[in-house]
Amino acid sequence: MDNNKQKITDIKQLKIIVDFTLLNMLAKSTKKQRRLSRIQALCDLIERQFITVLQQDGEYLKGSVLDFARTWGWDRDTVNRFLNELEQQGIVSALVTQNRKTFRVNYVTDEEIDSLASAKPAESLKESLATH
């Protein structure tokens, strides 16, 4: 047991691949809320990224911090802090152009996941996430 605890504390960061359908289901609320939770805001970002990819409309999300604030029911400072936290975790990437910050959700495609199955799991996933 102590050996397992040591292994857990040695892990600095654990990444898992979660199906968006499951994530979205877990984020759904039975009540009508004016303010989204952090998980609901993340689901909104993922959905926006999915739409961007499907429409082949570049790789960065359409929308600004102000758009996110209105949609999520948050103030702009809270949105900025949340996006900065996601960026620090490697969940999103930001690009600043012409005094405007745009974001993209870092993702791995099904094909990349399949190719990871035959390689070293930890290193290949890290490389694949780093390339997006």
127 falls in which pLDDT band (50, 70, 90)? low
Is 15-131 in CATH node 1.10.3720.10? no
Q: Domain boundaries in the chain?
A: 15-131
Q: Taking residues 92-110, report their average pLDDT.
A: 86
Q: What is the pLDDT of residue 9?
A: 55
pLDDT of residue 41: 93
Q: What is the mean pLDDT of residues 46-73?
A: 89
Q: CB neighbours of 58 closer than 8 A, spacing ≥ 6? A: 52
CA 41 – CA 74 distance, rounded (Å): 10
pTM of this structure: 0.69
Question: At 21, which amino acid appears?
Answer: T
